[in-house]
Structure 1
């Protein structure tokens, strides 16, 4: 179980009729806050929580108030003010020092707030916008492309205020090469709730018993790989087979694929060799490229290198600025 939205909704979908449920959402923040507007969690009638709306400081009180929403069938509006010494959140030791506004909406058999549609869209790896009416039991999801990077925000309409939250499926990463150093890459990505695919044509590599958390293991690098990447909406690729010929074959197969990012393990001159063997110019590739792969966090062991590469992919996909890995950049 991760805190990713699709995992939370999967648990709710499997148990939605066996107990009561409440959707908790941060709809506004002022000052510093651990989670921002659009953050969600689910609470069920057994007192179980899925997801986080704070760093763990407020969840016990949120769960207590969720019971009130279940009993009344009405939304419960909460405010936690970390700047007020008389406020509960201050007494609980909330360290961020900001103000957090939370809405608890009960889910019913006749009104799932659009979470069923949202879950189905995430299963299909579709993006869209999720709408929740503030201080009401109303919500719906609209699938479609997201334009721009505007975060969750409140829209003022004639019928009231609505929180609009952009929804994107969790990243899907294709790892080319199933050696020892690929194991922590797959493991960490799985812990983050990302989808993973591993491909390696060598029988001794990418064995299922060594990659129990890999979503899919493929054995062929050919034109079908590009079709797979397109159909399964792969976001990023890591070339880490330690074989120039295998990395070359993968790059040649994926050069026109609709991925967003490619990381190449090793120094820059090695990736130049891969480009030359594939007969491809770097300028011909439409996706972002990290060579050498990852961020410079000073790691040398496989686990640290895996963390570095996945951090670089995270930064690339979520448009955050970060320092590139220069330690491996020697020619």
Structure 2
């Protein structure tokens, strides 16, 4: 299982009645910390954890304290100071050196802290804000449009302090082209917890047995693909069909799609050929473009190139200012 919030909530939803649960949340940090405010994990009565609130060094103590929250029905507030030689986190060798404040909130059948609404929204690929009252067993979720870089923060209200965490679904990427070099792209994206769709009209390509981790495999590049991209809220597209015609057809279909980023495999002049074949210009595209695709990490093999492309997409989606695309291995 990956550490994406949607995967954590799915695990909770599948067994929410079978055992007790606690939601652990980083609500404040000082100095360096592995996870920032808004990071969450779920712990159940079997001692299983879903997600991380540190690099793995604090989780055993967090799980131990989660049992207190389960037994008392009240929140448990934890502080780990990496600078204090007498603090547990220092003794455990936490290397960040900062201070982390964690809240453990018990989840019950009568009070799920709004996690059902949050889970439903992520299933629909909707964004919003998650509100948790500090040192209380209260929480709720509201859908709405967010600024992608807006951090979690504490609001001071008349009824107390509330942690407000922006929530967005995990990235969804569409890979155009199901050749051998697309396999590590799908595999790495899957391990990151991203949603993936693969499209290739060629019968010999994108075979299910070669892409067992692909979320969806499509066979046609037409207006139905454009509708699919909009409905499924695809965030980024990779053109890697090794066919100017197929890439151009996909680009012509998706040039006005509501995506955020497009990566084109191959040298810069190849993408110009794709644009010419598609009959459009860069000015017709309303999204960020990386051509050549990815970040320059010096890779030549398919796995390295996949890592480069996905790193570039990650940077574009989460930093909003993609680093200049560097020279990538030519086809």
Which residue matches 2:158?
Answer: 158
Deviates more, 1:172-181 or 1:311-320: 311-320
Which residue matches 1:14?
Answer: 14
In structure 2, C-alpha distance between the alignment counterparts of 1:188 and 1:38, rounded to whole Å: 25
Which residue matches 1:79?
Answer: 79
Which residue matches 2:303?
Answer: 303
**8 Å Cα contact 2:149/2:318 also seen in 1:** no
In structure 2, C-alpha distance between the alignment counterparts of 1:59 and 1:320, rounded to whole Å: 31
In structure 2, C-alpha distance between the alignment counterparts of 1:88 and 1:320, rounded to whole Å: 37
In structure 1, C-alpha distance between the alignment counterparts of 2:79 and 2:318, rounded to whole Å: 29
Instruction: Please report how far the alpha carbon of residue 147 of structure 1 lies from its aligned counterpart in structure 2 after TM superposition.
Output: 3.6
Partner of 2:14, secondary structure, is helix
**8 Å Cα contact 1:105/1:136 also seen in 2:** yes
Which residue matches 2:172?
Answer: 172
In structure 2, C-alpha distance between the alignment counterparts of 1:18 and 1:151, rounded to whole Å: 34
**8 Å Cα contact 2:26/2:35 also seen in 1:** yes
In structure 1, C-alpha distance between the alignment counterparts of 2:105 and 2:126, rounded to whole Å: 24
Which residue matches 2:27?
Answer: 27
Deviations 1:71-127 (A, max 9, x none): 000000000000000111100110000000000000001000000000000000000
Partner of 2:61, secondary structure, is helix
Deviations 1:219-245 (A, max 9, x none): 000111100000100000000000000
Deviations 1:38-61 (A, max 9, x none): 000000000000000000010000
1:188-207 alignment, distance < 5 Å: 188-207=188-207
Which residue matches 2:45?
Answer: 45
1:85-96 alignment, distance < 5 Å: 85-96=85-96
Runs of at least 5 residues in structure 2 that lack an aligned partner in the other structure = none
Deviations 1:198-225 (A, max 9, x none): 0000000000000000000000001111
Which residue matches 2:253?
Answer: 253
RMSD (Å), alpha carbons = 1.1
In structure 1, C-alpha distance between the alignment counterparts of 2:228 and 2:321, rounded to whole Å: 30
In structure 1, C-alpha distance between the alignment counterparts of 2:111 and 2:2, rounded to whole Å: 25
| TM-score normalized by the length of structure 1 | 0.98
Which residue matches 2:110?
Answer: 110
Instruction: Please report how far the alpha carbon of residue 284 of structure 1 lies from its aligned counterpart in structure 2 after TM superposition.
Output: 1.2
**8 Å Cα contact 2:294/2:326 also seen in 1:** no
Which residue matches 1:57?
Answer: 57
Asked if 1:264 is matched to 2:267, the reply is no
The change in CA–CA distance for 1:148 and 1:203 in structure 2 (over 3 A counts) is closer
Size of the aligned set, in residue pairs, is: 330
In structure 2, C-alpha distance between the alignment counterparts of 1:148 and 1:295, rounded to whole Å: 21
In structure 2, C-alpha distance between the alignment counterparts of 1:67 and 1:148, rounded to whole Å: 35
Instruction: Please report how far the alpha carbon of residue 148 of structure 1 lies from its aligned counterpart in structure 2 after TM superposition.
Output: 5.8
The change in CA–CA distance for 1:323 and 1:231 in structure 2 (over 3 A counts) is closer
Runs of at least 5 residues in structure 1 that lack an aligned partner in the other structure = none
